[in-house]
Amino acid sequence: MVVGIVGLGLMGGSLGIALKHTKFVSKIVGFDHNLSHCEEALKLGLVEEIVSFSEIKQCDVIFLAIPVGGIIKAMQEMQDVSPETTIIDLGSTKAQIVDSVPESIRQNFIAAHPMTGTEKFGPSAAIPELYHDKIVVLCDTYHNSEQHKNRAIQIFSHIGMKIVFMDPNAHDAHASFISHLPHVISYALANTVMGQEDPKSILSLAAGGFKDMSRVAKSSPQMWSNIFKQNKENVLRSIEIFEEELEKSKQMIQEEKWDELEAWMRKATTLHKIL
């Protein structure tokens, strides 16, 4: 089975490494609009060959590891692929992508979201274990033929992922809280400090807490602005709910309700009993 990967950054590059260790993949080829990414991916051995987009469409399986806006555009250019070709996207939003799938490739197209990643990007960010023991969400699979659905399940299982099936709208609502909102908060925290009169002096005191919370603010702004755009309503709702919690803490501190504040924080610590 020949696999083609469109997008050779963190997600696509790490996928290339992971697929090398599976017995059913005979060749891995790649495509990226960024020529330096192509050169780097070859040098790092993330793919075996760089091919054109038209050649990618001849592969048995095509992964779209590109920003969510690019996924929608790429789908329109893939309407002439073989009915035997499986197309799998790795986007962080799902509803708008699913709604945009051309009817001619609806049975071929698997809407997937691997719940993994780092704040780094580009081919050099690729790591072998990125997908191992992580969750991948598959959405709207009742529109897929058994052939393509089973192929996707086989691939994700072989690279060590746990598979969850979900409605795309439910996925986007959930992802807005556990993935998209944390990025908004991290960017906001970073800009709050950078907006102060002497940010360098403040950052000289930065320890684990600040570094942990601001880490994802290193993520690609282009990629995340696309995600926020596609999941706008859910992201806004999660921000509003977060603002309510922030306002609670502000009032308790203003009014010196220390017992209430401690109880509020104690409730928050129970989250890690679920995680």
Rounded distance between C-alpha atoms, residue 168 and residue 111, angstroms: 9
Rounded distance between C-alpha atoms, residue 183 and residue 104, angstroms: 35
Tens of each residue's pLDDT in the chain, 275 residues: 999 999 999 999 999 999 998 888 999 999 999 999 999 999 999 999 999 999 999 999 999 999 999 999 999 999 999 999 999 999 999 999 999 999 999 999 999 999 998 888 899 999 999 999 999 999 999 999 999 999 999 999 999 999 999 999 999 999 999 999 999 999 999 898 888 878 777 777 776 678 878 888 888 898 899 999 999 999 999 999 999 999 999 999 999 999 999 999 999 999 877 76
Are the CB atoms for 6 and 37 separated by under 8 Å?
A: no
Pairing of strands 27-31, 49-50: parallel
Residue positions counted in the chain: 275
Topology given in CATH for the domain delimited by 2-166: Rossmann fold (3.40.50)
**CATH architecture of the domain covering 171-274:** Orthogonal Bundle (1.10)
Q: Cα separations (Å) of 52 from 7, 39, 57, 86, 93?
A: 12, 14, 9, 18, 26
Residue boundaries of the structural domains of the chain: 2-166, 171-274
Rounded distance between C-alpha atoms, residue 235 and residue 184, angstroms: 9
Write down the pLDDT at residue 203: 75
